[in-house]
Amino acid sequence: MLFGFDDKREFIPQIYHYLNNQELMLTFLTQYNASVDSDLKIPLLYAKNTKSLKMIFENFLHDIMHVSFGKIQNINIKLNAYAFCFQKRKSLIFNTKISKNVDFLRLLRIYLYGICFDAQILFSSYVYDKVSFQNNEKNIDQDGDLIIIDKKF
């Protein structure tokens, strides 16, 4: 059971078919953010008014590429070439405070080629992330489907 998209279609687990489109986008983005590195996380507001999983990435990439000229630190020519592929028009891409915390190239690859997760692993990562966040001062281990807090079941 896959959850994600590729360049042609979306993969939605049967268990999520009852959700409306906005709930589905929010569910995917929440579980995606719990499963990836911090430089690949996307704010949850990008799940609002989005029609497809791919559009979440498209909107986020579009926003981080269009920055205020007041925040320019330097021009990244290599990144500009990748952005050209994304935008299909010439423009300059600048390293800013926003894009320093984002791995633009990896997000662009996800947008172009897609990303699919095993739905069970994605959900398990989400649950583990929530439990570890709520119990950050405790020792937390995951053994298969079990989450062990301070060596207690």
Q: Model pTM greater than 0.85?
A: no
Please give the pLDDT value at position 84.
56
Q: Is residue 85 within 8 Å of residue 42, measured between CB atoms?
A: no
Please give the pLDDT value at position 19.
93
Give tens-digit pLDDT for 31-88.
999 889 888 899 999 999 899 999 999 888 888 776 554 554 555 555 555 555 555 5
Q: Is residue 30 within 8 Å of residue 125, measured between CB atoms?
A: no
Residue 109: helix, strand or coil by DSSP? helix
Please give the pLDDT value at position 69.
45
User: What is the residue extent of each domain of the chain?
Assistant: 2-149
Give the pair of three-digit tokens for residue 69. Answer: 């000229």
As a whole number of Å, the CA-based R_g of the chain is 18
